[in-house]
Amino acid sequence: MATKTMIVRLQDVTKKKHKLFVQEQTEFAACVNDCVERLHNGEKLSSKNVNFNLKSAIKNEAIRRARKAISDFKKGKAKTLPIFRNSLGVKINNQNWNSIEKNGKWYIAFTSNLGKKSIPVVESEDVKMYFPFLLKENKENRGTMELFRKGRDWYIAIPIQVSSELEFKETMKDFVYYTPIGVDLGLRHLAVLSEPTSGKRQFFSGKEVGYKRRHFRSQRRSLGKKKAQRAIERVGKKESRWMKDYNRKLAKDIVDFALQFDSPLIKLEQLDDIRSTCRSLKRVDRTIHSWSFYQLKQFIKERAFKFNIPVVDINPYKTSQTCFYCKHADKGNRRKEIFKCKKCGYKNHADLNASNNIATSTSLAV
């Protein structure tokens, strides 16, 4: 089960609402900090003995957030007890928010110090797809929402369970007859797709990405540092938007490739840090090292979900070193972009060989 966080911008937030939301955000952060200190001192807390100007449901979320901070500290995940800033997002549990449709327009209704108010949202593809499942009667579909701001704009973050990723047993049971599509993600080629039976394949080069990111990096360097901080941030945001747009288009192309086959099943290599699996590249190629492969994989899964195409993550162990033809694995089989098996002599493009191995693999990531 894949989890994605849907970010939605609120529309028509009046000056009055903005001021009250800021006050509530500040109060929530202060409440969490107070709860952290009291829990650390051994107190038992509930909404009744937490004296802050917040609704009971919001106080309970503050207590939960503080408990997590204490837990992280005790487990050694944090060196010190945190002090949360006023920008901390306000958590709202699933019983206190829901989507509403009015006259063909989507709203979000949630509990705050204003009471439970409905506010229009900026409608995106995600809103149109998921908001119908987040209505008041669908409490089981909703998780804990977060209200936060960037500048004067207010947003909500909603966790969504995207059920396009299947467990291995379910895959074998429900997809006895499917067409596996292997997707090898990398640096020189952002993605190499293959369907081994037909021999169809598609390569997506990383050259454009490298060029574009070097361009953005050059822009930032030319602006200097302190005096041009805002300009540098604008370039950074522009680059992030470009990356996001590029990843969406690439995800669409990958799913479109899969759609040409009957009962396609997309198989992705599970790579927590794809950069660590690749040998050092030329200096000019290093700019794509920070490419968001995680974001790309999420977009692939979201796009595939729209067409009911299952997506599974495959164990990456030796997929790049194993011969697709005879299955002999050896580090020496691969030399940069060329794969040549030391045992049987099979020769192919290294990324295509890996993509074929991913397509035929039955070893799912754990």
Q: Give the torsion through C-alpha atoms of 337, 341, 346, 350, to 10 deg.
A: -20
Residue length of the chain: 366
Look-up: residue for tokens 């794809």? Answer: 274
Q: Which residue is listed with tokens 């045992």?
A: 343
Contacts of 344 (CB under 8 A, 6+ apart): 323, 325, 326, 328
CA 153 to chain centre: 22
Q: Can you give the pLDDT at residue 212? A: 77
pTM: 0.52
The span from the CA of 29 to the CA of 47, in Å, is 15
- Average of per-residue pLDDT values in the chain: 84
Q: Can you give the pLDDT at residue 242?
A: 84
Mean pLDDT of 283-289: 42
Residue 214: pLDDT band with limits 50, 70, 90: confident
How far are the Cα atoms of 128, 238, 241, 252, 255 from residue 245, in angstroms, in the given order?
A: 19, 11, 6, 11, 16
User: Are residues 107 and 121 in contact, defined by beta-carbon separation less than 8 angstroms?
Assistant: yes
Q: For 90-147, what is each residue's pLDDT tens digit? A: 999 999 999 999 988 999 999 998 888 899 999 988 888 788 888 888 777 788 999 9
Type of residue numbered 160:
I
pLDDT of 332 higher than 90: yes
Nearest to 10 by CA among 176, 93, 124: 124
- Whole-angstrom Cα distance, residue 344 to residue 324? 11
Structure confidence at residue 88 (pLDDT): 93
Find all residues with CB under 8 Å of 62, minimum gap 6, and list them: 28, 31, 32, 35, 50, 52, 54, 91
Tokens of 328: 């002999």
pLDDT band, residue 295 (cuts 50/70/90): confident
* Closest-CA residue to 10 (of 113, 142, 99): 99
Domains of the chain: 2-162 (no CATH), 168-360 (3.30.420)
pLDDT at 172: 44
- Confidence at 230, pLDDT banded by 50, 70, 90: low
Return the DSSP state at 23: H
CA dist 267 and 359 (Å) reads 6
The residue type at 302: E
- Those residues with Cβ within 8 angstroms of residue 153's Cβ, 6 or more apart along the chain or in another chain: 9, 10, 13
* 70-74, 131-135, 272-276: segment of lowest average pLDDT: 272-276
Q: What is the pLDDT of residues 146-186, one digit of tens each?
A: 999 998 899 999 987 654 444 444 444 455 568 999 999 88
| Cα-based torsion angle of the residue sequence 345, 346, 350, 352 in order, rounded to the nearest 10 degrees | 180
